Structure 1
Amino acid sequence: MGRRKKGRDVHGWLVVDKPAGITSNAVVNKVRWAFDAKKAGHAGTLDPEATGVLAVALGEATKTVPYITDALKAYRFTVRLGQATNTDDAEGEVIAESETRPSDDEIVEALAPLTGDIMQVPPKFSAVKIDGQRAYKLARDGEDVEIEARPLFVEDLKLVDRPDADHVTLEMTCGKGGYVRAIARDLGEALGCYGHVRELRRIWSGPFVAEEGVSMERIEELAKSDEIDALLLPLSEGLTSLPELKCTHEGATRLRHGNPGMVIASDVDYGDEAWASYDGEPVAVGIYKAGELHPSRVFNL
């Protein structure tokens, strides 16, 4: 018989404004501790030195993580021109340098091929698995890591500031699986001057924005208190990309048992993915078919 997880049954989303110098997993562990929650997870890793939106799901909200992970995300980042590093960010060792400095117009022109549906090679120091092992572990062991290019959708990539000749600030909106460090690396190579990420901030992820994020200091201040639950956003915030369907009492009962349940449909078509609610509470996610939702995920609230 498995051991029962300790902690509270607490459900919802916490948008953390992650500071630099801490891993995403460390943030999740701190949040789980602060809420005394049984279960927690995040919707998209940030590098330790990156800041901004880290969306942490608690309890049944973890079932909605894929919908945030798959959503568009936006980043604001500064590229240091003239230097390449082995990690493609400022934490690594400089492995190549150049005196070449492109003009603003040349930078804008070089951004165009990095926009749209592109193929991107993740950094060698990344969590990509190669033959069952993380690429960064192989790279740290001195192995010559070969990583295959992966598809990435970049909706927008633009120049927003040029503080000086050595630095350029960009904003990017992209889909799932993108590496900002790889964008900096590829931009530097295209310009013939090298480049790496100096600073990185995720400014929004799906429905969550950094300006509304909670600081780690605030989380620690309210840890284990009665007031901390007020920081949570409802579980349904993780479902904003899907249409909502209302269900009847009988439909909700059937859905909670994993069976198709009757729903009141509006702007959905046969075969669409949607979520059902009853009395304002999420009941299930599933596929709409002829007046019923066929559940794929059921929420035990």
Structure 2
Amino acid sequence: MARKGRDISGWLVVDKPAGPTSTAVVNKVRWALGAKKAGHAGTLDPEATGVLAVALGEATKTVPYITDALKAYTFTVRLGQATNTDDAEGEVIATSDTRPTDDEIKGGLGDFIGEIMQVPPKFSAVKIDGERAYKLARDGEDVEIAARPLWVEELLLVDRPDEDHVVLEMTCGKGGYVRAIARDLGHALGCHGHVTRLRRIWSGPFEAGDGISMETIEELARTPELDAYLRPLEEGLADLPELKCTPEGAVRLRNGNPGMVFASDVEYGDEAWASLDGRAVAVGTYKAGQLHPSRVFNQSEPA
């Protein structure tokens, strides 16, 4: 049975508060906008805050491009304590009186920059034999999670409020666990560590400073004023080159066929998106003057 709701497309950038799950935020946004379809581009832990980019309608087709984009976080690490969840929600399982100096911390950060191998926290949504790791961990099972590659663009010490806490800022690629960085850095420095505060400050083209609060979403729910906060579907394609197409090319692309585009600096085989009058028509592969579509957008005409 078809899902009821409006055929509304675009992005709503939410400044997520601590508490709700990412899924709960998406459900609230979908209800507030009366949207038929919604999804998010990258989970935040319930206690984390900051950018949660919610895609509506046809914009859900651009979610992978935001998920794959670089993201930045600020987070506070409590030194001297390890927890079973690698954050403040868990039980303390080890302690240390060792406190590294600022220079020692800065020196240790270098090992976590570039292409690293990271073992996700045991309390995470990683699947093991079809089960979520956090479910197995809660049931008392000894969870073994394989290490996976992570690209860390930058990892900086930005503040040291006291000897027990450090504030770090990290820019990384897809699939990074900040809690694992805190855990592994504490281990490397011989002092243990866990995250006490985490905020995603930007994700791809979306910044926390431009985000809407949950309070505002509730206040403006089901009103045109909330619609005004929607950002264009096309912002989800910011990391791909844009190619303009002819009206005839747009018709072919919307039907799933290769369509003529006007290329600039793209090369044969590059992924790109085609637009007509500034609106996305399709994403695909550029080959000899045509875009071969992999995703087609069926946006309703603007009011």
The TM-score bracket by the shorter chain reads: over 0.9
Q: C-alpha distance in 2, partners of 1:245/1:115?
A: 34
Indicate the residue corresponding to 2:154 in structure 1: 156
Partner Cα distance (1:40, 1:12) in 2: 10
1:53 aligned residue? 51
Give the equivalent residue in structure 2 for 1:230.
Answer: 228
Partner of 2:84: 86
Q: State the aligned residue count.
A: 299
Q: Offset at 1:12?
A: 0.2
Which of 199, 209, 213 is the aligned partner of 1:211? 209
Q: 1:139, CA displacement in angstroms? A: 0.2
Where does residue 258 of structure 1 map in the other structure?
Answer: 256
Question: Residue 280 of structure 1: CA displacement?
Answer: 1.6
1:131-170 CA distances to partner (integer Å, 9 max, x unpaired)? Answer: 1100000000000000000000001001000000000000
Distance 1:196 1:278 in 2: 49
Give CA deviations for 1:65-119 in whole Å, capped at 9, x if unaligned: 0000000000000000000000000000101111111100110111110111000
Whole-Å separation in 2 of the counterparts to 1:222 and 1:245:
36
Q: Secondary structure at the match of 2:99?
A: coil
Q: Aligned partners of 1:98, 1:22: CA distance in 2, in Å?
A: 32
Q: Which residue of 2 aligns with 1:190?
A: 188
The TM-score normalised by the length of structure 2 is: 0.98
> Which residue, out of 155, 163, 166, partners 1:165?
163
TM-score for both structures, normalised by structure 1: 0.99
Give the CA deviation at 1:226: 1.9
Gaps of 5+ in 1: none
Q: 1:271 aligns with which of 259, 269, 274?
A: 269
SS state at 1:21 partner: coil
Counterpart of 2:69 in structure 1 is 71
State the secondary structure of the residue aligned to 1:271: coil
Partners of 1:25 and 1:110 in 2: CA distance: 35
SS in 1 for 2:103: helix
Identify the residue that residue 135 of structure 2 maps to in structure 1: 137
CA distance in 1, matches of 2:173, 2:4: 35
Q: Distance in 1 between matches of 2:2 and 2:17?
A: 33
